[in-house]
A and B are shown apart, each in its own frame.
Chain A
Amino acid sequence: MKRNIILIIIGLCLALWPLGGYQEGIVILMCINCVAAMGVSILTGFTGIFTLGHAAYMALGAYTTAIMTVRYGIHWLPAVIAGGLMAVIIAWLIGVPTLKLTGDYYAIASIGLGEAIRLILENWQSFTRGSRGFPGIDPYTTRVMAVTIFILLAILMFNMLDSRLGRELKASRDDSTAASLMGFNTPHSRMKALVISAFYCGIAGSMLGGYMSFIQPSMFDMMKSTELTAVVVFGGLGSMSGSILGSAAITLIMEYFRDISQYRMLIYGLLLVIIMVFRPEGLLGSHEVWDFLKFRKEADKNA
């Protein structure tokens, strides 16, 4: 409960703090990236499945929403939800044959799947306009809308992790044999994680489409997928608040170094190396932010 209130306060600050147009754009981008990072985090950080193809789910969400709003004139809200659901359906279809793979094997498969979806979008000229991109999307992603969706999804995600589902995913991450001998159908658990993560990434893609009002397949390439996973590793595997903080931090850094944009990737790489050397478990390890407060309290009690 306390956690939800804090999240809502953060949300209100993000949504209502008076900002210039440029900063407003950064806040929107931050929310979009955080939603996507939450999606990858539940799969990579909490279920232990490394993925290098999640930009494809963002692409699915973005294109579904774009086509629905532009071609068929549907309101953006149902279209955004449909974007998430489209990613869910495709993820489910992909998950059935691949989720028996674990660890590195799934990572390899996910690269192929991510690229395949991108290439389909690029070559299905009649439907998606291919690599020319899809212009003219209504700019429905306002700051208030982006922050609202982000906070709403964050509350749902934290609730989910603090329930039977969260424990189930963590069990199959820590020891999938033991989990199956404790009565969990582990391929099924992994499927749940993949579907939830695809939903989050689909929504993030839809929001990105509404922010940029122009999408093209090359926005959702391997680079984007790698970035999503890197951000989660940066924030700490097994820490949802870490993933959010990591994602927000990386977005801010990338935006504020836009002036020296040719060195952006250099800074990005350097940052990852520094984190991996000094904190190999990521920014927050496998703790959430409030765990650190609790530790403080317990330490005080013992003292």
Chain B
Amino acid sequence: MLELSHVDMFFGGIAALHDMSFTIHKGELMGIIGPNGAGKTTIFNIISGVYMPTAGTIYFQGSDITPLKAYQINRLGIARTFQNLRLFTRSTVLENVMTSAQNRYINTYKKELFSGNISRTNAPDPEAWYSFIESCLHLGRWKKTEQVLRFNSMELLERVGLADRANQTAGTLPYGMQRRLEIARALALSPKLLMLDEPAAGMNPEEVFELNDLITGIHKDFDLTTLVIEHHMDLIMKICPHIICLNFGAKIAEGSSEDIQNNPEVLAAYLGTDEEEVI
């Protein structure tokens, strides 16, 4: 479904990622681990189009998405959350979810005007769309669409357990709830690939336990392919059957959780090696 092929990312002279290649298959739940500064978030930023990679290509569902802008990549069906929360803080919780729910895109096929070839494009989901004039006059599809959006968004909020907070300003929510709101907001786009950037950061063990269920639950119910960055080893070892480990911008290990736990290079990256201790 998503494939990174020999991706390099340099910031000035520093290699944030070097020769990064991996593949996620449809329906997989994959984890990315690594020490601080290993380049985990950079991978997300490159896939979602915040940065353009210095070299290499990214394929999504077989097509090259490397040169696309962030919003175009998003419309193909890639949604993400952020490590340092980026909610629309001055809007209400419900509005946050509706904001992304109104922006759903579906894959359609269009016939080229001259060549007659059929190519794949994205069109706004007709269920979530109405025109500018309808929004000025509150006529036509406005009422029905807004109701549908509100209903869908409330459903998602119930799923993440925030339904009773729907009318609160998003910026005033406690930290753990803001994280769950970010997940709901990303889900509202009905993505094919969901990328969660440290969803458990700053949560207490109990909340992490709930999050565990939430992630595996939505992965199954929404038929998602999920990519998770995490520091909490317990969480990632429990939920992700497929893990890759990064250090200094390079992939040092890939495999199942047991493989990773027993890999000497991973242990060295996290705990330091004997030679280093001598020095």
A contact residues vs B (CB 8 Å cutoff): 156, 159-160, 162-165, 167-168, 170-171, 173-175, 177-186, 238, 286
Which B residue sits closest to A175, measured CB to CB?
Answer: B86
User: CA A238 – CA B88 in complex, angstroms?
Assistant: 13
Chain A residues closer than 8 Å to B100, beta-carbon distance: 182-183
Would you give the 0/1 interface string for B74-85, flagging 1 where the beta carbon is closer than 8 Å to chain A? Answer: 110001101000
A156-B136 contact, Cβ under 8 Å, with A167-B102, A175-B88, A183-B103? yes
A238 touches B90 (CB 8 A): yes
Contacts A163-B142, A180-B70 given; does A170 touch B95 at CB 8 Å: yes
Minimal beta-carbon separation of B122 from chain A (angstroms): 9
Shortest beta-carbon contacts, A-B, top 3: A163-B135, A178-B86, A174-B88
Which residue of A160, A171, A184, A286 contacts B136 across the interface (Cβ within 8 Å)? A160
B103 nearest CB neighbor, chain A only: A183
B residues with CB within 8 A of A: 48-50, 69-71, 74-75, 79-80, 82, 86-91, 95, 98-100, 102-103, 105, 129-130, 132, 134-138, 142, 146, 185, 189
Q: How many A-B residue pairs have CB under 8 A?
A: 88
- List, in ascending order, chain A residues with CB within 8 A of B71's CB: 180-181, 183-186
What does DSSP make chain A's interface, helix, strand, loop or mixed?
A: helix
Q: Give min CB distance, A84 to chain B, whole Å.
A: 14
Nearest-CB distance from B44 to chain A (Å)?
A: 10
22 A-B pairs in the complex with CB atoms less than 8 angstroms apart: A156-B137, A159-B135, A162-B138, A163-B146, A164-B129, A164-B130, A165-B132, A165-B135, A167-B98, A167-B99, A168-B99, A168-B102, A170-B99, A174-B89, A175-B86, A175-B89, A177-B70, A181-B48, A181-B49, A182-B79, A183-B189, A186-B71
A174: contacting residue among B50, B91, B135, CB under 8 A: B91
Residue of A nearest to B80 (CB): A181
Q: Determine the chain A residues whose CB is within 8 A of the CB of B136 once the complex forms.
A: 156, 159-160, 163
Q: Please, how many angstroms separate the alpha-carbon atoms of A54 and B82 in the complex?
A: 36
CB distance B75 to A183 under 8 Å?
yes
Asked if B146 contacts A183 (CB within 8 A), the reply is: no
CA distance A185 to B105 in the complex (A): 13
Chain A residues in 8 Å Cβ range of B138: 159, 162-163
Q: In the docked arrangement, what's the CA distance between A160 and B95, Å?
A: 15
Contact between chains at B142 and A177 (CB < 8 Å): no
Contact A177 B50 (CB under 8 A): yes
Least CB distance from B60 to A in Å reads 15
| Complexed CA–CA distance, A175 and B87 (Å) | 7
Q: Which residues of B contact A177 (CB under 8 A)?
A: 50, 70, 86
Hey, which chain B residues are within 8 Å of A178, CB to CB? Answer: 82, 86-88
Chain A residue nearest to B98 in the complex (CB): A167
Residue among B87, B90, B99 with the most chain A CB within 10 A?
B99
Residue ID in chain B nearest A166 by CB atoms: B135
Q: Contact check, B105 vs A174: say whether CB atoms are below 8 A apart.
A: no
A238: chain B residues at CB < 8 Å are: 90
Of chain B, the residue at the smallest CB distance from A4 is B138
Q: How far is the CB of A143 from chain B (nearest CB, A)?
A: 25
Which of A173, A181, A186: most chain B Cβ within 10 A?
Answer: A181
Knowing A175-B86, A180-B70, A182-B189 are in contact, say whether A167-B48 is a contact too (CB < 8 A): no
Is there contact, CB below 8 Å, between A181 and B50?
Answer: yes
